Chain A
Amino acid sequence: MESIILQIAARHLRPLLIVLSLVVLYRGHNEPGGGFIGGLMFGAAYILYAMAFGVAKTQESTFFNPINLTALGLLIAVVSGLPALLLGDSFMTGAWYTFFKQTAFELKLGTPLIFDVGVYFAVAGMLMLVMFSIMEE
């Protein structure tokens, strides 16, 4: 199916969706959102692209392989549990650090965010893996 409207829309929507997925990922700890939803959006961006241009062309345009992305996500998720061990806490204990204290840019980041990034990659990779394998046939 070649649709010029879908192709142009997909070309412009893909970067937008990726940025949006990052926003959703970041706000996820305290507000609706998170790694899973973000990952789904990230995957959906590429699936939309694949619907417009075909799977082969999409895979050429990506610098990663879906299954490697999944593995990377799992790795990041496990690694996020390790800082707690260095601090002498139990595995997976959240460690937080506030950047730019007392300024307008106060930024509170912690290991749960790293875990969420892992989930984000794992979900996105898995979704793309499954969808691409169905769409290819």
Chain B
Amino acid sequence: MESIVFFGKGGIGKSTIAANISVLFAAKGRKVLHVGCDPKMDSTLSLMGRRIRPFNDQGGSDEEALRRSLHRSIKGIDCIEAGGPQAGVGCAGAGIGAMLDAIKDSALIEKEGYDTVVFDVLGDVVCGGFAAPLRRGFASKAILVVSEELLSLYAANNLISMVNNYARNGVFLAGLAVNAKDQAAVRLAHDFARAANTRVLGVIPRDPAVTRAEKARKPVVALEPRSEAAKSLARLAAEIAAAGIPSSPPRMLGPAEFEAFMDDRPVKPEGKSAGPAASPAVKKNKVASSALLERSGFSMTGVAGGQVVCSWKGGGTTFRLFIAPESDSRPGMSAIGDWAFCFLPGEEPPSDISREGFHAALKEISTLRFDDFISAFSGKLDFYENVDSFGKGSSHPLMPEGDKPEEPYIGFGQWQRFLFSDSSGICVPPGSVMVEHGDNECRFSSCSQTPLSTFQKIAGLANDSTPSLAPLLPKEDHMIVNTDFLYEDAVKGDEKKIAGTLAAAAARTGPGGLIEFYSGCAPLILASDVASFSDKVARDLGVEVLRENFNSFYSQTPEKVRARSAFVARRLAALGRVKPAQDVNLINFGSSREPLTALLAAKGLAVKDWDTEFYKDIASARLQVLSSADPVLTGAFDKLGIKWTAPGAPYGFAATKAWLRALFAALGRKSPPEGFGPSRKESAAHAAAAKKLSRFAAGFVASPGEFGMLEGTWAVSGVPLISFLSESGLALRLFVHAAGPEIKALARTEAAALAAKTGTKPRLAFFDSPGALLKTLAADRALRLVYSDIPLDPRLSAAGKNSFSVAVCEPGYEGALETLRRLAQLCEWDFNERYYFTKSV
């Protein structure tokens, strides 16, 4: 089976040529499938004599829909059109891709036994979708249709790059088909073909017969077979049939080269694309590439952000460089062939001698392609140790940069992460609506944490310490909705869906309400027009619509804080003046609300019972107590003069006492008769528990940048963890991975700062590998607990230690005693020591 794909600038005559070539092949007895890949749907017009219903209008993407789209035309040619959206909406490229997927999935070509498939593809390459016949490995011969117009040659030049890119799928450039006005045009095409290392397959002269055939909706080779155009097309068909893989591939002219060509100046190959590209038919010897690199002093050390990191050794020095595909090169990089390089910051060759040596080595490897570097790299290194974060292009996982707890899923190979981020406590004001404009995969990109989740961060005042036993079917709240962006939305446009969802959201939030509209990745890539619809809904229905993208769903952008805060203020103002009946309203306290309500009641304060009337609860209390100083609420409260406070979380005896004192001060109340402290009985129980725990130690495996986060920050769910543990009688340890003296010095400074802040004396220990950490932990007999947000962390179990996290911490005096009981229980628990401890350590 032979497949031929016609590309070229719009309006240049591709469809005319493609349709005639189909007829000529069919006339030779071939069974031909003619595929129109243009939303204009005019490729098959001359073959069919009428427009046909395209694939994308069949209401399906399966074989049935495909067969409904197939139409038999003259000479037994089967015709199909992809179709697409109206001009300016949706994505025609996606539609073409979907049709080709259906052809592939259904094995239509094999089942029907086509000898030849002719693809007629829309205009220039404006997105990946139009390269679909090449990407999906359908095309074997590519033909570029050109004329004397500058833009047609410009498009052809770009298309050469695309064809070369997909040479791996077996496609090659057969040559140019020239739709020529005159002999000058023919000469220009030949000159371009020479410069681009390709050839002219045929020239179609301007012939009135073509125009007559178009009017009659017939191919010229059928209507006027003796015309000059028909004869030229027959010659072109013969050349196409005979075309084989060229001995060397075509070459895209660089911008300056192309300019010189058009100005009729001598064309000098530019450095960037000077390297001879390998023929798709000629594969380089991988071993030879590796050997060449090794001989020239290069060794691959890793991959970061899609670049190869390699080191060069020579002239008594070693330094590292990034090697990137030329297409991804950035300022400061030097291009050689299809790759570019730059030195790692501060690692340039230090002397003339080494620089000369390096340049000589570079010359030796100048014939290599980027793929050769990858081949030489692959298989030699531990992937996880060398690729940690694709997006950032940074860092070996053991490096100290990025000292910030992150989601556990991001850092591949980041074995040292024991502390993960906590995104709880973000205030989404009740009554506002969040719309996620995305596909079904987006909808399932959240999962409520449960006690069985692999990674957990269910702790702190705002959390529910008895979370749901099972993840829910996302999206879980009736005020959060996913629009279920479908394939047909991509192809035909999503305007209707956006408008409908916004209207429904506006009805739900009501006048003065807030809609947060998040565009997911698929609508973003298609540049969906959200702005005009959101403006209209905002104007017509009196709501505020905030437009965000997928990146900010879980974060508080300044604009989002402003909008949410204004919404809260509007809702509160609408209630008017209400005389507060209660002293305190606890906001965002999760399952801590109940014990803290009891604590406050015992100290004589009246706490607002929790109900679903969020705004009424606020209005009915003198003081709003927040679990954290959320800017959304505090902004609204400040605007309306509502009294609020957000003292440090009451974990541990000292912190609980301080929390109570802060609340009374904010209310302007005198201290209760028995004071703010715990009862005598609670104090005695605490002293006994702390004595018991003083035999043991608790440790943290952390980077120096994380030390400061262990006390009362969001990273530990607001718990003053170091102070709390210290108050509990436990000795403290900090285990730090330190590759060199700088990290050790930094760790000492940060540890001293933490000690000063908390009045504790944590002991520092260093290690340089996972194995060394295991040994260090195992050797410390007093150490029973090591912090990890991974429950029953196997890395700690292997050292015979028990993991703990902020999830064990409970608020208030009674909660602190319960926490101490849990810690003591863990310290004495020997399950891991007995069953998991790896004796070899």
The answer on A and B forming one complex is no
